[in-house]
Amino acid sequence: MFRSIFIALSESRMLRNIAERSRIGRRLSSRFVAGMTVDDALAATTAVNNLGMSVSVDNLGENVTNAAEAQHSAALYHEMLDRITERKLDANVSLKLTHMGLDVDEKLAREIVSDLCDSSAKNASGFACVKGRTKSHPKSRSGKKRMSTPTSSS
């Protein structure tokens, strides 16, 4: 019962706006959310790496409603992966299939995820965590899969 309540709350644009823009919302979420920008996430990743821990970065959001939103989400992840690699951080990314457009266009989502997994293979961690669960794909299960593409040294 609580699970469905929290899922419903997480899908509320109004609650998300309050959490992102209000002082109290930012204070309450700061323990779990590194920030609102790629720079914020990289700063938090660096700080956690300096404590000897690795990091999994997740761009918060859920279902996208069109291909342009899916492409925008993919662009943010590509930027994150490039900058993680440039800074040699001990981090990976966590991808939600619905954030990559699974409910909009399954072929597009596969292309986006495949491309991001190829990019993540170039990162020191060499993998992306892919999670999937959707309303329109009820048989899918939430889970994490290590997806990487081997890179050649030539």
124 and 56 both lie in a single domain: yes
Its domain, for residue 41, covers: 35-147
**152 occurs within a structural domain:** no
**Total number of domains constituting the chain:** 2
d(CA 21, CA 125): 33
pLDDT tens-place string over residues 50-98: 999 999 888 876 678 999 999 999 999 999 999 999 999 999 888 888 8
Confidence of residue 150 (pLDDT cuts 50, 70, 90): very low
67 and 16 both lie in a single domain: no
DSSP-H helix ranges across 1-154? 2-10, 13-21, 23-29, 38-50, 67-87, 106-121
**41 occurs within a structural domain:** yes
22 and 90 both lie in a single domain: no
Q: For the whole model, what pTM was predicted?
A: 0.70
